[in-house]
Amino acid sequence: MHRTIAAFMVAASLAGTAEAQTSPPPGIPAATTSSQAMPAFSLDAALGAAGVSSAAGTPATSTATGGGVSGPGGSTQTALPSIGAATANVAAATAARRVAGLRPNPELQTQVENIGGSGAYRGVRSSETTVGVALPLELGGKRPARVALANARLTRAQIQAEIARADLRLRVTQLYIEAAAAERRSEVLAEQAGIANNAFRVSSERVKAGDVGPIEQQRADVLRINAQVAADSATRQAQVARSNLETLLNAPVTGPLDRTWFERIDGYGPPRPLDVEGTLALVAAQADVRTADAQVRVARSLRVPDLTVSAFARRLAATNDTAAVVGLSIPIPLFNNGNAFVAQSQAEQTQALALRSLAIVDTRQQIASAQTEVANAAATARAAGGPGLAAAQEAARIARIGWSQGKFDQIALLDAERTLSQTRQTYVDALAAYHDAQARLDRLTTPAPTISGDDR
């Protein structure tokens, strides 16, 4: 009688487990009914909350103003720190360009001579008062050189603002991927804990019925405890991952994350050669070269001395007469002739050229590595979520039936269940790795925007 009851409980428990495992999409358990009723919080919604374009690689026109971003529903929220810093940098460079175009201010000068002396020059009786204006004249093309340097720096600041947006887009995407993967792992391990709990109850009944020894119950109890600990840990990891995403967005993340997007794998194949010249990294390096070129131009212009032209009116107190005074001054480049500054600027120009060449090599290597990671992760995910998962599910199904009929021992059953759980986790990890590599590849290949006022 006890054996009949135990066999019935085994069949019912395993049937319920098998039904739970066949209902969700391949490789991942289904979400709860309450979460299915809520609309999914998509990656586009997360990017919109961060105020960045949802389409990676979409060029945008840089502007020098704008301290806020538009959140979901058209509401305006405070810019995230990285975007706010980049926007302020553009505003500062714009102001610096206006400053560079200004001419030197004239000087108002006055002199009083022949006072406080002796004899005829006692007091102010023979004083000579001179009042006039001195106007510095910049020579050597200093003002155009300053403007060119300011334009180059403004262009670099605008590119840096686009880099900040691309980096923020990548960071939001990676946190979203991390949160989505953590939730899927939590679901897998929670189901595994349920299976281990059922196996422990069945083992207890079989021990009571005298079908197996107590060691089987003890083994099932250990596995049940370990599975529950792993499930609890995965739950906490999912909560932390969602909290990190909310902290970055400074907005609540409600509802389940987009399961359809997470499980989608786009087409992949052999890596395709990409032109790195138009990417943000290369355009930024080229902007640094143009800035260094403009700095050399400024340094050379500073070697030409400036003139100061002055015109004065002098009053002679002794005769109460007035006379005009004209002056011209030019500095003598005796101690500083500007050669050191030119040498420094030329060295920085050489450095910028070398860094640009290095950026080409690094960008090509990083793109090639990301393309390989995308292909490998996609292949792993398709294998783990397709034939690999089907084989693991079938092996677990056969092990359950054989164990319930006494043909397989508990070790074979547990090994099959563990393999199925590991295959599901491998599928989730491969999906996370695929999306992460794809996000990094999109960041590396983000085209440079059209910069307004770009002085090339």
- Residue 354 belongs to a domain with what CATH number? 1.20.1600.10
Q: In degrees, to the nearest 5, what angle opens at C-alpha 431 toward C-alphas 428 and 435? A: 145
- Rounded to the nearest 10 degrees, the angle between the axes of helix 339-385 and helix 410-444 is 150
End-to-end CA distance of the chain: 91
Contacts of residue 149, defined as CB under 8 A and 6 or more positions apart, other chains included, come to 100, 291, 294, 295, 297, 298
Query: Distance between CA 156 and CA 454 in Å, rounded?
Result: 9
pLDDT at site 417: 81
Contacts of 63-69 with CB under 8 Å at 24 or more apart are: 63/90, 63/452, 64/90, 64/91, 64/93, 64/94, 64/154, 64/158, 65/91
Cα-trace Rg, the chain: 38
**pLDDT profile of the chain (456 residues), mean per 10:** 40 43 44 58 90 55 38 45 90 95 92 78 78 92 95 95 93 95 92 84 77 76 88 94 92 89 77 77 94 96 92 82 89 90 96 95 93 91 85 84 73 80 89 94 87 51
Q: b/e map of 31-41 (b: 16 or more CB within 10 Å)?
A: beeeeeeeebb
Query: Distance between CA 418 and CA 220 in Å, rounded?
Result: 13
Q: Is residue 120 part of a domain?
A: no
129 φ, ψ (degrees, to nearest 5): -105, 125
Q: How many angstroms separate the Cα of 49 from the Cα of each of 1, 70, 71, 125, 245?
A: 63, 8, 5, 79, 11
Q: Is residue 101 part of a domain?
A: no
Query: Distance between CA 403 and CA 279 in Å, rounded?
Result: 59
Q: Which residues pair with 165 in a beta bridge?
A: none
Q: Is residue 317 part of a domain?
A: no
Q: Which residues pair with 84 in a beta bridge?
A: none
Query: Distance between CA 94 and CA 86 in Å, rounded?
Result: 12
Our CA dihedral for 156, 159, 165, 171, rounded to 10 degrees, sits at: -80
DSSP H or E segment with residue 47: helix 43-50
Environment class of 393 (CB within 10 Å of its CB; exposed 0-12, middle 13-18, buried 19+)? buried
Q: Is residue 329 part of a domain?
A: no
Query: Distance between CA 325 and CA 309 in Å, rounded?
Result: 11
Residue 422, domain extent: 2-73+153-300+340-444
The structure tokens listed for 208 are 């009571």
Query: Distance between CA 289 and CA 456 in Å, rounded?
Result: 11
Q: Is residue 21 part of a domain?
A: yes
The count of domains in the chain is: 1
Q: Is residue 95 part of a domain?
A: no
pLDDT at site 144: 95
CB 172, CB 53: distance < 8 Å: no
Q: b/e map of 225-241 (b: 16 or more CB within 10 Å)?
A: eebbebbeebbebbeeb
Query: Distance between CA 354 and CA 231 in Å, rounded?
Result: 52
Q: Is residue 231 part of a domain?
A: yes
pLDDT at site 79: 54
The structure tokens listed for 209 are 């019925």
DSSP H or E segment with residue 313: strand 307-316
Contacts of residue 394, defined as CB under 8 A and 6 or more positions apart, other chains included, come to none
Q: Is residue 227 part of a domain?
A: yes
CB 427, CB 180: distance < 8 Å: no
